[in-house]
Amino acid sequence: MNPLLPKPATIVDIIRETGDVKTFRVVLDDPEEMAAWSHKPGQTAMVSVFGVGEAMFCLASSPTCRDWLEFSIRRAGKVTSALHQMEPEAKIGVRGPYGNHFPYEAMRGKNLLVIGGGIGLAPLRPLVNFILAPENRQHYGNIEVIYGARSYGDLCYKEEVFRVWPQAPGVSVFTTIDAPEEGWSGHVGFVPAYVEELKPSPENQFVVICGPPVMIRFTLKALGELGFEEKQIYTTLEMRMKCGIGKCGRCNVGARFVCRDGPVFSMAELKELPPEY
């Protein structure tokens, strides 16, 4: 088995989430490989656009969804722009899954606080959907989702954030946008300020947070003041990656490879790593 050889796959559907983010629904061409595919929430996969290049994206679909894989991709560079120009039925390559995952075993019996910013909700979404899956729901406590973005147009997964999740048992969703907007009646303000306002309690609670670095930095400060410990808080790191299998040495933070030992790290682990991410 050649870990660097991608598996041919087809884009079956493209959902436009925001102005520059699309969710690509992808199916591996070989049915056995599709059936054999299994990933955990927080893992990533390398998406290949032939003639342009490869890039690593987090898997946005829940492990319980067997029929396709989903990637939420923002247009930023060469590979992402090429993907954004693609139509359904286009051929791409996928290899993976890579990296570790959110500690959903350790989270059993605990509540979960999900804090996302903009497209940062993408790696957290599979975790929430995994927990909300019928066979898993009873193992977990309440889920609180605090999700913010620059504007209403920048909120991803509107279907789930505004309809599916709020109706799920024991789930409360709080959304905010940075600046007031016509037609928006919800909360207005940055995510860190909203966290301070909501005052989530640190008891029996796991936190997963992902979003722009500035949001993470100020939210961590807020959580610290609310009594959260660093080992309760998990995030995913984003690094430039080329091989995804711990050989090309590019995604190192200290002696750790983000593609193998990450992308999920607890804040306590991040403290030990050199500040080079």
List interacting residues with another protein (CB under 8 A): 1-6, 8, 29, 50-54, 76-78, 80, 89, 91, 93, 238-240, 242-243, 245-250, 252-256, 274, 276-277
In angstroms, what is the minimal distance from the CB of 152 to another protein? 23
Separation of alpha carbons 33 and 27, rounded Å? 10
Whole-Å CA distances, 39 to 6, 63, 69, 214, 239: 16, 6, 10, 29, 20
In angstroms, what is the minimal distance from the CB of 194 to another protein? 24
In angstroms, what is the minimal distance from the CB of 48 to another protein? 8
Residue 66 or 91: the one with the smaller Cβ distance to another protein is 91
Residue 48 or 232: the one with the smaller Cβ distance to another protein is 48
In angstroms, what is the minimal distance from the CB of 245 to another protein? 5
Residue 168 or 239: the one with the smaller Cβ distance to another protein is 239
CA 246-261-142 angle, to 5 degrees, is 145
Q: Three-state DSSP class for 58?
A: strand
Alpha helices by DSSP H, the chain: 31-36, 78-84, 121-132, 134-137, 158, 165-167, 191-198, 213-225, 267-272
What string of DSSP letters covers 136-183? HHTTS--EEEEEEESSGGG---HIIIIIIHHHSTTEEEEEEESS--TT
Contact 129, 62 (CB under 8 A): yes
- Tell me which residue of 166, 165, 174, 172 sits closest to 193, measured CA to CA: 174
Strands 53-58 and 143-149: unpaired
Residue 108 or 250: the one with the smaller Cβ distance to another protein is 250
Residue 188 or 239: the one with the smaller Cβ distance to another protein is 239
**Amino acid at residue number 158:** K
Separation of alpha carbons 199 and 222, rounded Å? 9
Residue 69 or 113: the one with the smaller Cβ distance to another protein is 69
Residue 111 or 252: the one with the smaller Cβ distance to another protein is 252
In angstroms, what is the minimal distance from the CB of 17 to another protein? 18
Contact 236, 259 (CB under 8 A): no
In angstroms, what is the minimal distance from the CB of 51 to another protein? 4
In angstroms, what is the minimal distance from the CB of 34 to another protein? 15
